[in-house]
Amino acid sequence: MIASGAFTKNDRFELIEGSLLQKMTKHPPHSVTTGLCLDAIQRSLPPGWHARKEDPVRIPDRDSEPEPDVSVARGKLTDYLRRHPGPADVALVIEVADSSVEDDREMAVTYGGGGIPVYWLVNIPDRQLEVYTEPSGPSAPIGYRRCAVLRPTDQAPLIIEGHVVAQIPVANLLPPQEPTAD
């Protein structure tokens, strides 16, 4: 579509449920939080897995190719020279929500319906981590059967192939809270 002139190389879209959606502008808290998540995940991964930042994930069952803020994929970066990882390759996707909480909650249908095992939604305004597990598969409208809400004092289980490989403090995934004026 870029070659045909319909879009320029500066246009930013992602394929969600068969539609091209324009990507949102990222504000500083979103960027910082994405970096915090990437750092925490990278430190906790076992051999044979790597973290990716804002790179596409193929979800053929949902006609989607979202670009989650962070994802965890099997193997090494160079394993994906010819294709993007799909559900069989991905253990976790993370979306950071500052002004887009409801939109990112709706992504649970795409991720879970497409077979992504675990979806984390880092909810900056509510200072919580929403952990979605037990994907419902392509025929169910809910995405995931379970959602746990974790607070900054909680630990988030990093689950890869059904095993908890690390416990990550939720506080390490959230930006520092700004002091309130009295």
> What confidence tens digit (pLDDT) does each residue in 116-143 have?
999 999 999 999 999 999 999 887 778 9
pLDDT at 25 over 70: no
Q: How far apart are CA 69 and CA 95, in angstroms?
A: 5
Task: Select the CATH number that applies to the domain covering 26-173 from these four: 3.20.20.190, 1.20.120.1690, 3.90.1570.10, 3.40.50.720.
Answer: 3.90.1570.10
Q: How far apart are CA 118 and CA 176, in angstroms?
A: 25
Q: How far apart are CA 39 and CA 153, in angstroms?
A: 19
pLDDT at 8 over 60: no
Predicted model pTM: 0.86
Which two tokens mark 46? Answer: 């076992």
What's the pLDDT score for residue 100?
Answer: 87
pLDDT at 7 over 50: no
- Domain locations in the chain? 26-173
Q: How far apart are CA 84 and CA 65, in angstroms?
A: 9
pLDDT at 78 over 90: yes
- Answer with the residue of higher pLDDT: 8 or 119: 119
